[in-house]
Chain A
């Protein structure tokens, strides 16, 4: 059973803090993604990675960075948290085996920045 595990379900952080969101997958998938989900805006891609130490910007990378030191782990970093980064963050992974493969999501981390 594929599992994508996000380290926290809920987080409350203060403005200006550096925040780390961790994601681990156990299916040896090459591709990992961070999305942000907001009501009425759907899922928006922040960053993705197709290999260890590789990263690509998504649609809304400003204010975020990522790290992928091991294949199974993909971290999202908020360098200086702001209130407009309060959101639900979803991690996903997807294998590189043809183009019609399923993406698997974690349960999400609901981040509140106060």
Chain B
């Protein structure tokens, strides 16, 4: 079973600040690491993903940083906004096409 360890469990950031969520994985059959965002009452939706042929991927205010030797990847949210308040999950693929998810980080961005 692929283990994905995510931290912190919860995070409070002021508007305009940087939110950082970290994940560590054990082993993976495929090199693909997505982050999902979930709002209350909704299913998770893909936010951003990285293939580790690059060490960083940026999409707008969201950046994934990847450290293959340490088996770690992180999500940075720059200029955090109240609308970013949600639960964030990192994931890593198992031997099939299923994704193993971290336990989630509840982010609250205060005005």
Contacts and interface: CB of A to CB of B under 8 A. Distances in A.
Interface stretch (A61-69, A73-81, A101-109): A101-109
B45 interface: yes
B82 to A, nearest CB: 22
A17 interface: no
Contact of A50 (B43, B96, B103): B96
Given A43-B101, A45-B98, A108 B43 contact: yes
A106 B43 CA distance: 6
A31 B30 CA distance: 16
A78 B103 CA distance: 24
B43 A99 contact: no
B96 A40 contact: no
Query: What size tier do the contact residues of chain B reach?
Result: 20 to 34
Contacts, number: 66
A4 interface: yes
A94 B44 contact: no
Contacts of A105: 36, 43-45
B43 A40 contact: no
B30 to A, nearest CB: 4
Given A99-B30, A99-B32, A100-B51, A90 B44 contact: yes
B38 to A, nearest CB: 8
A48 B97 contact: yes
Interface in B70-96: 89, 93, 96
Contacts of A43: 44, 89, 101, 104
B96 A56 contact: yes
Interface of A: 4, 30-31, 33, 35, 40-45, 48, 50, 56, 58-59, 90, 92, 94, 96, 99-100, 102-108
Given A42-B103, A90-B43, 16 more contacts: A31-B98, A40-B9, A41-B103, A42-B6, A42-B89, A42-B101, A43-B104, A48-B98, A59-B100, A90-B44, A100-B51, A102-B34, A103-B99, A107-B42, A107-B43, A108-B43
